[in-house]
Amino acid sequence: MVKKLLLGIVLLVILYVGGGIGLIALGVIDKFYFLPGWSIKGPNATKDRSGFAADGPVVYYQGATLISWQIAPRNGKLQLLTDTLKADAVLTCFVSETNRQFRVPLRPTPAQPEVAEYAAVPKLLALSDIEGNFKGFEQLLRGAGVVDQNLNWQYGQGHLVLVGDFFDRGLNVTECLWLMYKLEQEAVQAGGKVHFIVGNHERMNLTGHYKYLRRKYRANADTLGLPYEKWYGSHSLLGRWLRTKNVVERIGTTLFAHGGISPELAAQNLPLTRLNDLARYSLDVPVAHLTPQEKQATQPPTSPDWYRGLAQEKPAEVQVDQVLKTYGATTMVIGHTPVEAIKPLYHGKIIAIDLPHQERCDAGQPLQALLIENGKLSVVDSQGKRQALAAE
Tens-digit pLDDT profile for residues 174-215 = 999 999 999 999 999 999 999 999 999 999 999 999 999 999
Q: What is the average pLDDT across 10-20?
A: 67
Q: Looking at residue 38, what is its pLDDT?
A: 52
48 within some domain: no
The CATH number that applies at residue 138 is 3.60.21.10
163 and 196 share one domain: yes
Is the predicted pLDDT of residue 29 greater than 60, yes or no?
Answer: no
Statement to judge: residues 327 and 371 lie in one domain = yes
Q: Please write the tens of the pLDDT for every residue from 235-279.
A: 999 999 999 999 999 999 999 999 999 999 999 999 999 999 999
Instruction: Classify residue 271: in a domain, yes or no.
Output: yes
* 179 in the same domain as 79: no
Start-to-end CA distance of the chain, whole Å, equals 35
- The string of pLDDT tens digits covering residues 209-240 is 999 999 999 999 999 999 999 999 999 999 99
Q: Would strands 254-257 and 368-373 be described as parallel, antiparallel, or unpaired?
A: unpaired
Q: Are residues 129 and 7 in the same domain?
A: no
- Amino acid identity, residue 248? V
Q: pLDDT tens across 303-350, in order?
A: 999 999 999 999 999 999 999 999 999 999 999 999 999 999 999 999
Same domain? 143 vs 268:
yes
Residue among 71, 95, 34, 63 at smallest CA distance from 225? 71
Domain boundary among 64, 79, 105: 105
Q: Where a domain ends, among 83, 105, 127?
A: 105
Taking 70 as the threshold, does the pLDDT of residue 40 lie above it?
Answer: no
Same domain for 366 and 227:
yes
CB neighbours of residue 186 within 10 Å: 17
For the chain, percent of residues with pLDDT exceeding 90: 84
Based on the fold, state whether residues 315 and 346 are members of the same structural domain: yes
**Together in a domain, 216 and 364:** yes
How high is the pLDDT of residue 267? 98
- pLDDT > 90? residue 37: no
Q: Is the distance from CB of 230 to CB of 238 less than 8 angstroms? A: no
Percent of the chain residues topping a pLDDT of 70:
89
> pTM for this structure?
0.87
Phi and psi angles of residue 387, each rounded to the nearest 5 degrees, phi first: -150, 155
Residue-range definition of the domain harbouring residue 262: 117-388
Residue 24 pLDDT: 53
Q: Bridge partners of 104?
A: 91
| C-alpha torsion 315→321→325→329, nearest 10 | 100
Residues 6+ apart with CB under 8 A from 107: 181, 185
> What's the mean pLDDT in 77-95?
96
The reply to whether 183 and 133 lie within a common domain is: yes
- Residue 200 is assigned to a structural domain of this protein: yes
Q: Determine the Cα–Cα distance for residues 372 and 124; give it in Å rounded to an integer.
A: 5
Domain total for the chain?
Answer: 3
* Predicted pLDDT of residue 237: 97
Residues 162 and 90 in one domain: no
| Inter-axis angle of helices 173-190 and 134-143, nearest 10 | 30
| Mean pLDDT taken over the chain | 92
